Amino acid sequence: MRERLPIIIFAIVVAAIPLIPGVPPFWIVLLDNIGLAALVAMGLVLLTGVGGLTSFGQAAFCGFGAYTTAVLSTAYGLSPWLTLPLSLLVSGVAAVLLGLITVRLSGHYLPLGTLAWGLGLFYLFSKLEFLGRNDGISAIPPLSIGSFRMLDPGSIYYAIWVAVLISALLTTNLLDSRTGRAIRALRRGHVAAEAFGVQTPRAKLLVFIHAAVLAGLSGWLYAHLQRAVNPTPFGAQAGIEYLFIAVVGGAGYVWGGVLGAAIVVILKEVLQSYLPLLLHGSGQLETIVFGILLIILLQLAPAGVWPWLVARLPLKPVGKRPDTSLALPARARTPSEGGVLLKIDNARKQFGGVIAVNSVSFDVQAREIVALIGPNGAGKSTTFNLITGVLTTTGGSISVLGRKIDNAPPQEVVKLGISRTFQHVKLVPDMTVLENVAIGAHLRGHSGPVSSMLRLDRADEEKLLAEAARQIERVGLADQMHQLAGSLSLGQQRIVEIARALCVDPMLLLLDEPAAGLRHMEKQRLAALLRDLRDGGMSVLLVEHDMGFVMDLADRIVVLDFGTKIAEGTPEAIKTNPAVIKAYLGVAA
Amino acid sequence: MLFLVQDGITNGAIYALLGLALVLVFAVTRVILIPQGEFVTYGALTYASVASGQMPGTAKLALAMGIVAFALDLYAARRALHVRPIARAFLTNIVLPGAVLALTSWVVSRQPPVGVSIALSLVIVAAIGLFLYRIVFQPLAHTSVLVLLIASVACHLALQGLGLLFFGAEGQRGPAVLSTAFTAGTLRFTGQSIAVYAITIAFIVGLWLFFGLTLYGKALRATAVNRLGARLVGIRTTLSGQIAFLLASVIGALSGILIVPITTLYYDTGFLIGLKGFIAAIIGGLVSYPLTAVAALVVGTVEAFSSFYASNFKEVIVFTLLIPVLLLRSLAAPAVEEEKD
C-alpha cells in the first residue's frame, strides 16, 4: 500500500484541479493535452527507454485510433464507446503488421524503419478519399454518458486522466513482472535473455503492440476532444515530438513520460504565448528558443528530468525480502543417474577460413565437474556457444541424455536443463540483483502480459522471486539482493550470473571463467559451492584460466589448443602431459 | 523517359553527397545529423543572399555561436588557464567568424563574383557546423544514441526557426555556378548538372583518399570503431568530432549551393532533402560510402519516376521503398550482439 500512496495523492490532486474555483479554463485545455501526450509517451517509455526500440512512428498509431473512431462514428453512426475497442484493435493490428516487419530490424535500422512508415502513413492519411484527404473528418460526436455529453475540455478532462492513470498503473504492473523483466532485459542485447528462455522477438512485438494501443487510445480521446481530425497531428513531426517528451522526462520511467509531457506541452505553450509579446518578433522564435532550451535540458539531465528529480527526493524504495518458503516445482530428472549427460561428438565451427572448433569430442557425466582449459583463442567460449545454441555447428553433433540438440535455439537448450554464465558479464545493470537472478527462472513461471498488468500473477511471481532469493543466498550475496546489479564489483557480478543460472534448476551448469576477478577467499567459497552442487546431483562444465582453482576442483580436464583437443584426463595426468605444457609454455619441459 | 533518369541522377548525386556526410558524422560521433538539411538551406540561401546583395543572417549567427563556444572553452579550461590554447580558441571561435562577418558585409554591396559568394557561404556554414559540435554535442558525447538523436532534432528545430528569421518565408534562387549548356542526342546537359556530377564524384574520391591515406582520416575511422580505444592511443576524439562536423557542414552547404540554381529553396526545404540523403545512407548501412552513393542514385531515380507518374504518392513511394531494403539488410547482417549503454 505504501508504494501506491504517491499515485493516490497524484490522482486526488488531478481530480481536484478542475474543481478549484478560479482555475482558468485554458489550464484545463493544457492538462488535456498533457494527458494525451503522456499516454503516447508512456508507450514510448516502454518501447524505447525500457525495451531499447526507438520509434518515430507513434503518431501514426494515434492516427489509426483517431481515424477509426472518426470514420465509424460519423459515416456509420456508431457510439464512441463502441468505437473505443475498435480503435484500440485497429492500432493493435497495425502494430502487429508493422511490428512483424520492423522489430526484426536491428540497431539503427529500427528507428529509421519507423520513421519511414511513419512518414508513409502520414502521406497516406492525407491522400485517402474516405479519410477526407488533407481536410480530414469533422463533426465527430462527443463522448457521452447517458444524457451527459462531454462537449467542453473540462468534462472530457476526467476521461483523459482516468485513461492516463489506468494506463500508467497497468504499465508499471507489467514492468514489475516476469514479462516485464524479459522486456527490461531486451535493451542489453538478446543473447543473455534468450539463454534463459525469453523469446526476444515475441517480447519486442509485445512492447510494440502495447505502445501502439496506448497511442491509439490517445488518438481516440483526441478525436472526441477536438471532434475533428486531420492528418497534421499524426505526422513525423509529432512522432519526433513524442520521442522528445519521453527522453526529456526520462526514457526509462513510466512517470517520466507524464512529467515529460507536462514539461514539453507547458514549455511550448508558454513560449508561444509570451515570446512574441516579449520580443515583438514574428516568425518561429518559439521553435528557436524551444530547441535551445531542450538542448540545455538534455545537457543538464541526460537521463531525463524524472530520475533527476527522484534522486533528490527523500523517498528510497525499500526492497522486501521474498518469502523463501515458497517453492517452485523441481525439474523432473531422468533416473539414468551416472550416465552420459552431455556428449560432444566431432563438433566443428568454422568462421570463414578460421576453424574455431575443429572436430572436438568429449563428454560430461552426471555428477561430474569437467574443466575446459586452453590458451586464449583455443575455442573454449565458442564450444560453450555451440552447446547452448548461440552459434550453430558447422559439423558434428551435440547430444544431451542421448538426444541430439545441435543447432536448437538457446531457448530450447535451456529447457533441457543446461544453463550458463558468460565470459563478459551480461546482467541488466539498472535492475536489482534479485530481478536479474529472477530472469533465470523465466521458464519456471507462467504468467503472461495481461495477467501481469492486472496483477493476477502475484502467486506465480512470489514463487519466482522466492526461488531467486534462495539462489542468491546460496551463492552468498543475500546482502546485495536489492542493490542494482551494475553497482556490484565484477567478481560479484559473475557470482550473480551463477545464481541466475542456478534458477533454471539445471542438470548441467556451464560456467565461463567464473573465478576471474574473485579474491582468494571468494574463489574458495565458489569451489565449495560447486562441489556442493555436484554432490547434490548437478554436473558442471567450466572454462577457467586459474590453474590452481581448476586442478583442485575438476574431476576431469579437457585441453583445447587452436580449436583442437590435445589432451583429456585427470588433473594429475594433465599436469604432466607434455603436449599441454608445450601449448602453454611453448616448449616441451 | 531518359530525361527522368537524368533528373533522377542529378537529384541522386545531391542525396549521395548528403548521405556521405551523414555516414561520416554517425560513424565518428554516433550523432544522426538531422540538421544536415539546415546546412543545405543555410549554404544555399546564404549564397543566394550574398549574390543578390543582401546581408545573410547566418554570418552573424556564426559569430554568436563562436562567442558561446569560446565561453564554453573558457569554462572548461577554468582550472588551468594557459595562454596558447586560449589564444587558439579565441582565434577560431571569435576572430575567424568576426573576420568573415566583416568581409561579408563589405562584399555584399559590391556585386561579388560567383566564386567569392560560394567561398564565403562555405566558410560561414562550416563555422556554424564546427561550433554546433562544440556547443551541443561535445558535452553530450558520452550519452546514448537516443539522447544524441533528440539533441540533434532539437538543433534542427532551432536552426530551422533561425532560417525563417534570416531568410523569410519566401523561396530564393541563386545564380548558376556554371552557365554553359550543350546537347547530346535528345538530352540537354546544363553546366549546372555537370558541376553537380563532377563535385559529387570529386567528393567521393576525396573522402575515399582522405580516409584511406591520411593520418586524420585514419584517426577518424579509429574513433568510429572504438572511441575508448582511439583515446587510449592518443587520438583526440573531440578533434575527430569537430572534423566530422566540419566536413558535414561543408558538404551540406555545397549541396545547397549546387541545387539552389536549379530549384527554389525555402527555409524548410532542407529537412526533406536531408531525409532523402538519410534514406540513401541507411540503405548503405550507415557505414559504406560507395553503397550510399549507389543507393542515393536509386532514391533519386525512384523519386523522379514517381513524381512523374504518381506525384500524389511520391513521398509515400520514396519512404516505403526503405522498408523492404531495411528488412533485407537486417536479415543479411543478422544480429551482432551490441554493447549498448
Give the pLDDT of residue A334: 60
Residues 6 or more apart whose CB falls under 8 angstroms from that of B9 comprise: B197, B297, B300, B301
User: If you measure CA to CA, which chain A residue comes closest to B158?
Assistant: A288
Choose among B147, B275, B322: nearest Cβ to A298.
B147
What is the mean pLDDT of the segment spanning B168-173? 82
Does A48 lie at the interface with B, CB-CB under 8 angstroms? yes
Choose among B144, B146, B320: nearest Cβ to A120.
B320
Cα–Cα distance for residue pair B83/B33, rounded to 1 Å: 34
Does A108 lie at the interface with B, CB-CB under 8 angstroms? yes
User: A280-294, A380-394, A512-526, B198-212: which has the minimum mean pLDDT?
Assistant: A280-294
C-alpha cell at A405: 540438440
Answer for the pair B94, B68: CB distance below 8 angstroms, yes or no: no
Give the pLDDT of residue A337: 56
Q: Looking at this protein, which amino acid is placed at residue B89?
A: A
Choose among A106, A283, A291: nearest Cβ to B157.
A291
Residue B124's closest CA among B171, B58, B71, B200?
B58
Residue B20's closest CA among B248, B321, B301?
B248
Residue A54: phi and psi, rounded to 5, are -75, 130
Classified as helix, coil or strand, A349 is strand
Give the pLDDT of residue B12: 84
Cβ distance A112 to B326 less than 8 Å, yes or no, reads yes
Confidence of residue A280 (pLDDT cuts 50, 70, 90): low
C-alpha cell at A376: 586464449
Give the pLDDT of residue B271: 82
Cβ distance B165 to A292 less than 8 Å, yes or no, reads no
Give the pLDDT of residue B337: 41
Give the pLDDT of residue A318: 65
Residue B339 has pLDDT above 60, yes or no: no
**Chain A neighbours among B 217-246 (CB < 8 Å)?**
none
- Beta strand residue intervals within A324-443, DSSP E: 340-351, 354-365, 369-373, 395-400, 403-404, 418-420
Answer for the pair A57, A114: CB distance below 8 angstroms, yes or no: yes
Cα–Cα distance for residue pair B294/B24, rounded to 1 Å: 16
Residue A480 has pLDDT above 80, yes or no: yes
**The domain A328-417+506-589: what is its CATH number?**
3.40.50.300
* Of A280 and A588, more confident: A280
User: If you measure CA to CA, which chain B residue comes closest to A118?
Assistant: B319
Q: Which residue ranges make up each domain of chain A?
A: 5-259, 328-417+506-589, 427-504
What is the mean pLDDT of the segment spanning B89-103? 90
Cβ distance A108 to B146 less than 8 Å, yes or no, reads no
Provide the residue count of chain A: 589
Cα–Cα distance for residue pair A514/A522, rounded to 1 Å: 11
Answer for the pair A494, A475: CB distance below 8 angstroms, yes or no: no
Choose among B140, B164, B339: nearest Cβ to A283.
B164
Residue A434 has pLDDT above 90, yes or no: yes
What is the mean pLDDT of the segment spanning A163-184? 93
Classified as helix, coil or strand, B90 is helix
Answer for the pair A263, A34: CB distance below 8 angstroms, yes or no: no
- Chain A residues whose CB is inside 8 A of the B337 CB are 189-191
Cβ distance B333 to A120 less than 8 Å, yes or no, reads no
User: If you measure CA to CA, which chain B residue comes closest to A186?
Assistant: B340
| A227: alpha, beta or left? (left if phi > 0; alpha if psi -120 to 50) | left
What is the mean pLDDT of the segment spanning A372-393? 88
Answer for the pair A250, A259: CB distance below 8 angstroms, yes or no: yes
Among the CATH numbers 1.25.40, 1.10.287, 1.10.760, 1.10.3470, which is that of A5-259? 1.10.3470
Residue A283 has pLDDT above 70, yes or no: no
**Chain B neighbours among A 165-204 (CB < 8 Å)?**
187-191
**Chain B neighbours among A 344-403 (CB < 8 Å)?**
none
Cα distance from N-terminal residue to C-terminal residue, chain A: 70
As for the ipTM of the complex, it is: 0.84
Answer for the pair A530, A498: CB distance below 8 angstroms, yes or no: no
Residue A211 has pLDDT above 90, yes or no: yes
* Of B62 and B321, more confident: B62
Give the pLDDT of residue A92: 94
Does B72 lie at the interface with A, CB-CB under 8 angstroms? no
Residue-wise pLDDT for B146-163, tens only, equals 889 889 989 998 998 898
